[in-house]
Amino acid sequence: MKRYLIQLFALVVSLFIYFVNLSALPYIGFFHNTLKTLVQPLFEFKGNLIEFTKSMINTYVILVNVSKENQELKKELQACNLYKVQLSTCENNLLSVSRIINLPLEVKRLSIVYAGIIAYDPSGNDTFILINKGQDAGLSEGMIAFYEDKLIGIVDRVYGSSARIRTVFSKDFSISAMANSKAYIYKGGYPYGFLLHVGLEDPIKVGDVVLLRSPLGNIPSFTIGKVSRISEEDKGFFKRVEVKPAVDIRRISYCILIKEKL
């Protein structure tokens, strides 16, 4: 019985120590600080060990994520390779047909440049971006910039080692576009651009994809955006067609440029 009483007493004392925050009391504080000074190297070692363990865990998590992403990218690459083979077969067939019908056909390999984005439009309207490649990489005005299959814009100023790209969100941006296999003019705007000269009888509907149209056929048909709203203007022969650009400028950190003019 006595033993249990001692244990209960010790329990109560320990809880008392916990609740009164003993180390903060003025007389005990001196001893506490002295003890802490003596064991300071041990606490420093403990702190370093905690930091090291945390960094190891973070590194492990990052490596696991990178490994997963790598696997996914490998799968995508396999799909792209298959598509490339299919396209190459199409190209060969096309060349054979062109030879049979005596139609001169030249398949041109496009030269591209990778560029990092160094600045965005400070107005928040995404009307332009600055890239870290310029005359040094052989860029010139009028070249097309894209990301994945989405059109970003056209190079409108080129400096020594940087260039400015006028994006699909800019009001000063106009380009030949195609929707429902019919040619229109796309005019940029934020947050929506417009398709100009869409006749009242043209069968355009919300959700239709608007593609880049290259008059010379030398540039692939990149996606400009999707038709988001159609309304009829009060007077005139045309519809007002709003297009939501496909690219999200703020989410990309690099872009690809084709060294060909439209």
Partner 1 sequence: MRFYLFAFIIAFFQSSILLAIFHNFLTAPNLLLVYLFINLVREEECLLKKAVLSGLFLDLFQDSLGLHISGHIFFSIVLSLLKARFEFPNIVSLFLVYAFLSILEKLWILFFFRLRYYAGIDPILLFLGLAIELTFAMLIIRRYMVYKHE
Q: Which residues bind partner 1 (CB under 8 A)?
A: 3-4, 6-8, 10-11, 14-19, 21-23, 39, 42, 46, 49-51, 53-54, 57
CB of 57 to partner 1, least distance (A): 6
Of 43 and 254, the one with the shorter C-beta distance to partner 1 is 43
**CA separation for the pair 257, 148 (Å, rounded):** 11
Judged by beta carbon, residue 15 or residue 94, the one nearer partner 1 is: 15
Cβ of residue 56: shortest distance to partner 1, in angstroms? 9
Token pair of 2 as six digits: 């006595």
Pick between residue 4 and residue 101 the one whose CB is nearest to partner 1: 4
For partner 1, the closer of residues 9 and 237 by Cβ is 9
Q: With beta carbons less than 8 A apart as the criterion, state whether 225 and 246 touch.
A: yes
| Nearest-angstrom CA–CA distance, 1 and 23 | 32
Rg for the chain, CA atoms, rounded: 33
Q: Is the peptide bond before 191 cis (omega within 30 degrees of 0)?
A: yes
SS3 85: helix
- Tokens, residue 19: 């609740």
Report the residue number, 47 or 116, with the smaller CB distance to partner 1: 47
User: Which two tokens mark 246?
Assistant: 């496909």
Query: Minimum distance from CB of 67 to partner 1 (Å)?
Result: 20
Instruction: Provide, rounded to whole angstroms, the least separation between the CB of residue 62 and partner 1.
Output: 16
Minimum CB separation of residue 59 from partner 1 in Å reads 13
Angle between helices 40-100 and 26-38 (to 10 degrees): 60
